[in-house]
Amino acid sequence: MIGAIEIMILAIIFGIIYGRDAIDKSYKKHPDESVMESFAEDVKEYYQTDPKRLIKLGIFIVSVIAFLCMGAYLLVTRTDFLLMLGLD
């Protein structure tokens, strides 16, 4: 039976191997550019293909923040969380 530590070690090894290949293939680093200049060019090319991606990304970020705030509100108001922390 494989334990959690062995699975985590395998995931880290595969992440290092395949992550490095994905980074090398996706980001076109030129020798005369800094890292931020190259990243800015990649982002510009990414959003020129579909300009609505930035709007979709903004909506996603706002919805994630709203979800987390609603979860925190329900945690505080519907449970004894504050009492467990000694703040009540």
Give 68's pLDDT tier (boundaries 50, 70, 90): very high
What average pLDDT does this structure show over 46-68? Answer: 85
Model confidence over 36-51: pLDDT tens digits?
676 677 777 777 877 7
Model confidence over 1-32: pLDDT tens digits?
467 777 788 788 777 766 655 555 555 565 56
Task: List the structure tokens of 37.
Answer: 């200049």
Give 65's pLDDT tier (boundaries 50, 70, 90): very high
In order, the DSSP letters of the chain are ---HHHHHHHHHHHHHHHHHHHHHHH----TTS-HHHHHHHHHHHHHHH-THHHHHHHHHHHHHHHHHHHHHHHHHHHSSHHHHHT--
In whole angstroms, what is the distance from residue 37 CA to residue 47 CA? Answer: 16
Task: List the structure tokens of 21.
Answer: 């290949």
Q: What is the pLDDT of residue 58?
A: 82
* Ranges of each domain in the chain: 50-88
